[in-house]
Amino acid sequence: MSTTTTSPAAEPTTLIGKSADYLDQRTKMGVLAKQLVRKVFPDHWSFMLGEIALFSFVVLLISGVFMAMFFDPSMALTTHHGAPATMDGQLMSVAFSSTLDMSFEVRGGLLMRQIHHWSALIFVAGIVVHMMRVFFTGAFRKPRELNWLVGTMLLILSLLAGFSGYSLPDDVLSGNGLRITDGVIKSIPIIGSYLSYFVFGGEFPGEHIIPRLFTVHILLVPALILALIGVHLFLMVLNKHTQYPGGGRTDKNVVGYPAVPAFATKMGGNFFIIFGVLALMGGTMAINNVWNYGPYDPSPVSAGAQPDWYMLFLEGSLRLMPGQAEIVTWGDYTLSLNILIPAVVIPGLLFTFLFVYPFVEAKVTGDHREHHVLDRPRNVPTRTGLGVAFLTAFVILALAGSNDLIATHFALSINTITWVFRVLFFVGPVFAFWVTKRICLGLQRKDRELVLHGHETGRIVRFANGEYIEVHRPLDEQERWLRVNFEARRPLEIEPATDARGVKRKGYKKDKRWQKLSQFFYEDRVEPVTPAELAAAHAHGEHDELEPAHDTPELVSGSGTVEREH
């Protein structure tokens, strides 16, 4: 009962208190707890999009463990006996047969399979919506560039996890997907055929690929994902979460709610809600009924042969590429550009854009400050336009990958659809960029108008001299602050080409290129309203009478008198 504390602190009496004391005496946990327990987190629904990915990953782990108890990843052949009737007595791999048993014999087995597959689709979708939010609000700027890279790596790993996962049952649909993968691998110059042997342990399909994918899917990829999620969350807690612009929110503070209890409870509740949605979908909406496709055999193929949605961009680019691009080089070697371009170059370009964007943007702004207050997308028109253009390209490719379903559902010719998408792939993103940028600039101008002239109240006032005006209610401080608190960046200024003595400066050409890119980003801009401009607007207000500015908006019901300002 002796205490080693020097101050006469009270002995802990509750169970929690005693446990905390026990741990602290061995780990100095108190230091950590002090940082975290009442840590302030800003509250906005768009900050919960990353949680979609995080919590669906947890559901994947839970349902995955269940399935791993029943799935047997062997390609050995067996005769299946049992449900469903269409598979009874058929020869198939043990992997496929164990999947059927799990679905039809194990209670809750099909539920878990379906929850797992829906969760996988939602996992990648959650990463995408979260990434969109981060991109459009500029949360990737310093000090969060590293976290952006970690996140993009997580996106790639999620694609790998999904691909390896849905190939495990060894059915015709995913097996043809593996065949396509083999074809893409073979097309790689010089090492392609050897790489194909490496992956499949011999010729396609061999008997090694399913067990190898199983190891990749339950061990290697989840380990990497968990490690990177750890880094991702650690960096987020270390840098503290970003916040939307508003009153009292600066780059030097965080305004929000403490972790314990409100924030943690909402996060926990969100987990249960997400899990609930996934359980509801898994129980009522059929997905990946592999017994409809049948066990993998190189002969059959089904109409509507596509991979899961997140791989559709690859499928679409493979479908759109014209075949003439395969060439035979001197020396009689075959260079399959018709496969390399859609399967390697295009995804390479898309992912490179994602990886380098924060650094490109930092370079064209010359901005090395830390940023913790987010941008409103309208205030960064070029970035928003580029993001929309990227998404447009991605969506067009995904639609191109579904061209046969579009053809049957809208009674169109699949050949026409392919041609339309071939053109749209180039034209669409450019058009989307232009439209988005114009919309952003327009919204910014609308904001300026609002700040300068206030809300239209709809009240018309007639003066004795016969003049009619509409009364405008000025913005309150919070509303105005939201619309003026941003930086309209200007293009980079660079040092002149020649120095004082007329000697040409080294590195000028490179600086000039960056300046040109910076001009593309920031030449067209709308600046925020200044107090002087607002005063000027008041002064010449023949058309818009402004009621005296107030701090709270409640004051503007219909009864105030209107005075003419002099």
Which positions from 78 through 97 interact with another protein, judged by CB under 8 A?
Answer: 82-91
- Of the pair 270, 457, the CB lying nearest another protein is at 270
Pick from 83, 137, 72, 125: which is nearest to 107 by CA? Answer: 83
Question: What residues contact 333, with CB distance under 8 A and at least 6 apart?
Answer: 189
245 is written with which tokens? 């612009």
- Give the DSSP H/E element, type plus range, for residue 91: strand 91-93
- Of the pair 315, 547, the CB lying nearest another protein is at 315
* Position 369, amino acid: R
- Of the pair 89, 507, the CB lying nearest another protein is at 89
- 3-state secondary structure (DSSP) of residue 507: coil
Query: 201-239 burial by CB neighbour count: b if 16+ within 10 A, else e?
Result: eeebbeeebbbebbebbbeebbebbeebbebbeebbeeb
Q: Which member of 22, 234, 333, 351 binds another protein (CB under 8 A)?
A: 333
- Cα dist from 181 to 109, 369, 462, whole Å: 29, 44, 75
Question: How many residues make contact with another protein (CB under 8 A)?
Answer: 200
- Of the pair 251, 565, the CB lying nearest another protein is at 251
- 3-state secondary structure (DSSP) of residue 87: helix
Pick from 427, 415, 480, 478: which is nearest to 453 by CA? Answer: 480
Residues 472-501 that bind another protein (CB under 8 A): 477-478, 480-481, 484-485, 487-490, 492
**CA end-to-end distance (rounded Å), the chain:** 81
Dist. CA 179–CA 185, nearest whole Å:
10
CB of 375 to another protein, least distance (A): 13
CB of 4 to another protein, least distance (A): 31
CB of 24 to another protein, least distance (A): 23
Residues 191-250 that bind another protein (CB under 8 A): 191-194, 196-198, 200-208, 239-240, 246-250
Dist. CA 58–CA 164, nearest whole Å:
18
- Of the pair 152, 403, the CB lying nearest another protein is at 403
If one asks whether residue 553 binds another protein (CB under 8 A), the answer comes out as no
- Say if CB 29 and CB 20 are below 8 A apart: yes
| Segment near another protein (CB under 8 A); pick from 125-133, 151-159, 459-467, 496-504 | 125-133
Dist. CA 435–CA 425, nearest whole Å:
16
Query: 23-37 burial by CB neighbour count: b if 16+ within 10 A, else e?
Result: eeeeeeeeeeeeeee
Residues 1-30 that bind another protein (CB under 8 A): none
- Of the pair 205, 471, the CB lying nearest another protein is at 205
| Segment near another protein (CB under 8 A); pick from 334-342, 385-393, 463-471, 504-512 | 334-342
Residues 36-75 that bind another protein (CB under 8 A): 38-40, 43-49, 51-52, 75
- Say if CB 458 and CB 392 are below 8 A apart: no
Residues 351-380 that bind another protein (CB under 8 A): 365-370, 372
Site string for another protein, 146-175 (x = CB under 8 A): --------------------------xx--
Residues 270-299 that bind another protein (CB under 8 A): 270-289, 292-294, 296-299
Residues 308-327 that bind another protein (CB under 8 A): 308-310, 312, 315, 318-326
